[in-house]
Structure 1
Amino acid sequence: MSTNNNVKEKSKGSLLWRFSQRFNFAAENIIPDPLVFCLILTVILFISGVLFTAFSPVDMLNAWFKGIWSQIGFAFQMSFMVVTCSVAARSRQVKNFLSKVAKLAKSPIVAIILLMIFGYISSFMNWAFGTIATPVLAMLLSKNVKGLHFPILVAAGYSTMILGQCWGPSASVYALIASPDHFLVDQIGVITQDVSVYNPMNTILFFILALGTIGLTILSMPPKDQVIEFESFDDEVEVVEKKNTTKLSFADRMNGSRILMWLIGLGGLVVIVSTIMEKGFLGSLSLNFVIFIFLIANFFLYSTPTQFVNAYRNNMSLATDVMIQFPFYGGISGMMMDSGLGQEIVGAFTSIATADTLPLLSYYSASILNLFIPSQGGQFIVQGPILMEAAQQLNANVPHVINAFVFGDEATNLLQPLYVIPALAIVKMKLKDVWGYMAFIWLFWFIITTIGLLVLPAILG
């Protein structure tokens, strides 16, 4: 990235831009690298568990150890997703296609709107797809449109993936409570997505936040002399095999076989089509299925096995942060769940709730727990039974309480860095480059959601 420093005295910029810089100051001087952030949370939770629960230090360490290994499978999934999606995004064909899409934007404002609408739509299909596809489009928009502040673009694009889960069918809690055998079915029954996701309160709050975030991003763009533009990774170009004029051995022919790539690719296409026909498009978009789509696409995007392997080798380093950090977050989650500290936090909020304030307190408690249990499904296992029992005792609106939980769980993904790591890996940025803008967006969401959860249920009934 590069900064325009031609002007000796920096312009002040808009009020929102100046306010956002306060968060950037904190990011540059306080927020450490993601791994250090994760290790600090680990120490804080360990001490809290020893002080406020019946767990001994050894018990907490054992819970930490058990939790680490609970996330190994997920760590590999996320790592493989980052590498596979990056390989596809950096292929010549995909770059050409997305470049054409990016050329639809002729100004920074149009580019921001295009990016964020694309982000919302892609996140509705699948959060993993949105996490990877949005920063790729942001890079191409930045190459096409001058004057775009790239850190804000990345942060705003990432926020669309988070917010999209609050009104999308792929959120794990909404899918869970719509299943006939979920773990709370005896308590709350089956709640279909027309009731849980697409009720008036949740719909109105989502669109207020979605449109408001677009407006906030546009109004927070810096003056021209403070714009940080995207720097092209010219050193990372697709490796093209040189034609060998000497006689090829059988092994050479196999290494350069297009037919072999096409056979495997066609087999994968059969699986993709049959799965979609059986489950429907949205119903098929599990994390594994999304990764598989990109994997099969790469068999067509890279003509030979040698090109295919080289492309993966050149992108493998992008998975380093993901592979290291996800298990440590599993350890944090293990300590939170096994020690009972999570239940104590939720119970402290629900004990002071009324029917009218329970959704708001659900939002606050979910926001806190998400810092330590970043898996929505895992967090609902801890928080769900307590919230649902409180909702029934207080005669509160159960869908509204669940909506508030999802908003809280998603919101603080802007503060803890776990799910932004893949996006940062794609664009080769550090957490401190974007965390200030992420926290700025979080504050906007916090204010609007707090008002919305108090006002909208009272108006809508």
Structure 2
Amino acid sequence: MSINSKENINSNNKGSFLWRFSKNFQFAADKIIPDSFVFCIILTLIVFVLGLVVTGTGPITLINSWYGGLWSMISFAFQMSFMVICCGAAAKSPQVEKILKKVASLPKSRATAMVILLVFGLASSLINWAFSLILTPILAMQLSKNVKGMHFPLMIAAGYSTMILGQSWCPSASAYALLATEGHFLADKIGVIPQNLTTYNPVNTVLFFTLAVVTILIGIMTKPPKHEVVSYEGYKEEVHEEAVIENMTPADKMNNNKVLMYILGIAGIIVIGYSFATKGFIGSLNFNFVIFLFLTLNTFLYNTPIKFVGAFKDAIQPATQVMLQFPFYGGIMGIMSGSGLTAVMANGLIQVATATTMPFFAYLSASIVNLFVPSQGGQWIIQGPVLVEASQALNAHIPTIVNAFILGDEATNLIQPLYVIPALALVNIKLKEVWGFMAFIWFIWAIVTTIGLLVLPGII
């Protein structure tokens, strides 16, 4: 696969204003942003030095904290890798490719195609972030192949941003779900807070829909000139041919036995149906369950053991970056928590806050901490007590503070590239090709969100 620029058709055409503005961020990405693994190592070194200088923690303690943190992400790394493999295999099946091609053939204009992509990203993220993370770039790939004028790196960045945004208004977001659970670790200070007060808080709801509209407008109005369009080209259509084996041995018959895969598939359907019946559709969609949905789907898409294994072999390569990098981000989290650097950074920011400005400072502190602790659940465990204590001291509205925390945590996932790695791997695109657009979207989000957090609590 390769991404090829189109020929220069009109050198005087500079594209829309937003396109020209976005190029300032992309220029920085071209010159500064390295490979995603190198980005991870540089962040590790920065956090290590900050731990030494700011907290005075010794180097041996920091190294041991890093070592401990490496293994804290092993199970998550496997989950993410297995998700990429299962979803990638399903997406490349002839049946799913046919469906996506039909959807991609519906829009006839660039604007319509962008709206379909981003609405799909938002809707699927509200169901489950992993579902959105994988299918949105695959849909972008098909749209780029069918609609002229679609800039593929922008599509990937904008599609990824919808996955992130959906989590700010999604009941499965870690902090929202935790605070609504009996006996959570802050229950003695703030009690149990139901999601109608956090997730669906009016301030949060207005901000979500405002940012959704803004993101769609960004996608439509950030229009490159024809000679700068980078489309998804060079994609090789896979030829799916049935292997014909003459004089099959007993082993060959077992390897090509459809009954074995159907037994697995039916067992999977029973598990899925039981979960939906007992927990409901939304209640069932945790991370492992979404992976299991695609695993079960693959038993029918690749209905013999030999085809099933072959599809997974082909889908393993994109998962290598995920498998490698996630433990290293766990090491960063280990340094942050082991040195106390997270609390130092959060405390320093909120000391200047008031009840009115506390949501903004919660947003700012969460944004900064998330660059180094890219896990909402882990970040809330570290930062939550600090924000709650400061909010109570200032008599600030705690649900709005939680909203601000999640908005900040999610927004800087556009700068911190951890969660975009699986999407990039699936469509074989480099971080530096999309990071500038991600940073561009984050910049606009930051302006809109800051205004909203300072103004909305006083009028809603």
Report if TM-score (shorter chain) is over 0.5. yes
Amino acid at match of 1:11: N
Quote the Cα distance in structure 2 between the aligned partners of 1:86 and 1:112: 22
User: 2:10, 2:227 within 8 Å by CA — same for their partners in 1?
Assistant: no
CA 1:48–1:190: 2 relative to 1, 3 Å:
same
> After superposition, where does 1:314-393 map in structure 2 within 5 Å?
314-393=314-393
User: Hey, what does 2:6 align to over in structure 1?
Assistant: 4
| SS at 1:213 equivalent | helix
User: Hey, what does 1:266 align to over in structure 2?
Assistant: 266
Q: Does 1:97 align with 2:99?
A: yes
Q: Does 1:112 align with 2:114?
A: yes
Residue-by-residue CA offset, 1:95-143 (whole Å, 9 max, x unaligned): 1112112222111101100110100010001111110010011111112
> After superposition, where does 1:221-236 map in structure 2 within 5 Å?
221-234=223-236
Quote the Cα distance in structure 1 between the aligned partners of 2:311 and 2:213: 38
Normalised to the residue count of structure 1, the TM-score between the two structures is 0.98
Quote the Cα distance in structure 1 between the aligned partners of 2:78 and 2:325: 11
User: Hey, what does 2:453 align to over in structure 1?
Assistant: 453
User: 2:8, 2:226 within 8 Å by CA — same for their partners in 1?
Assistant: no
Quote the Cα distance in structure 2 between the aligned partners of 1:238 and 1:384: 52
User: Hey, what does 1:419 align to over in structure 2?
Assistant: 419
Q: Does 1:13 align with 2:15?
A: yes
User: 1:362, 1:401 within 8 Å by CA — same for their partners in 2?
Assistant: yes
Question: Gaps (5+ residues) in structure 1?
Answer: none
> After superposition, where does 1:202-351 map in structure 2 within 5 Å?
202-234=204-236, 237=238, 239-244=240-245, 246-351=246-351
Q: Does 1:23 align with 2:25?
A: yes
Quote the Cα distance in structure 2 between the aligned partners of 1:66 and 1:239: 45
- Tell me which of 38, 44, 47 is aligned to 1:45: 47
User: 1:5, 1:225 within 8 Å by CA — same for their partners in 2?
Assistant: yes
User: 2:355, 2:396 within 8 Å by CA — same for their partners in 1?
Assistant: yes
Quote the Cα distance in structure 2 between the aligned partners of 1:283 and 1:8: 52
Normalised to the residue count of structure 2, the TM-score between the two structures is 0.98
Quote the Cα distance in structure 1 between the aligned partners of 2:65 and 2:243: 54
**Alpha-carbon distance, 1:22 to partner:** 0.8
| SS at 1:229 equivalent | strand
Quote the Cα distance in structure 1 between the aligned partners of 2:196 and 2:331: 35
Q: CA RMSD in A?
A: 1.0
| SS at 2:169 equivalent | coil
User: 2:333, 2:372 within 8 Å by CA — same for their partners in 1?
Assistant: yes
User: 1:240, 1:307 within 8 Å by CA — same for their partners in 2?
Assistant: no
User: Hey, what does 2:194 align to over in structure 1?
Assistant: 192
Amino acid at match of 1:448: V
Q: Which runs of 4+ in 1 moved over 4 A?
A: none
| SS at 1:187 equivalent | helix
User: 1:10, 1:225 within 8 Å by CA — same for their partners in 2?
Assistant: no
Quote the Cα distance in structure 1 between the aligned partners of 2:394 and 2:148: 55
Quote the Cα distance in structure 2 between the aligned partners of 1:426 and 1:105: 23
User: 1:91, 1:238 within 8 Å by CA — same for their partners in 2?
Assistant: no
Residue-by-residue CA offset, 1:53-90 (whole Å, 9 max, x unaligned): 14100000000000001111110110010011000001
- Tell me which of 152, 158, 161 is aligned to 1:159: 161
| SS at 2:168 equivalent | coil
Quote the Cα distance in structure 2 between the aligned partners of 1:328 and 1:367: 20
**Alpha-carbon distance, 1:10 to partner:** 5.0
CA 1:6–1:223: 2 relative to 1, 3 Å:
closer
| SS at 2:353 equivalent | coil
Quote the Cα distance in structure 2 between the aligned partners of 1:104 and 1:395: 52
Quote the Cα distance in structure 1 between the aligned partners of 2:359 and 2:110: 37
Percent identity reads 56
- Tell me which of 142, 145, 148 is aligned to 1:143: 145
User: Hey, what does 1:401 align to over in structure 2?
Assistant: 401
User: 2:157, 2:437 within 8 Å by CA — same for their partners in 1?
Assistant: yes
User: 1:241, 1:307 within 8 Å by CA — same for their partners in 2?
Assistant: no
Question: How many residues are paired up?
Answer: 458
Quote the Cα distance in structure 2 between the aligned partners of 1:240 and 1:257: 17
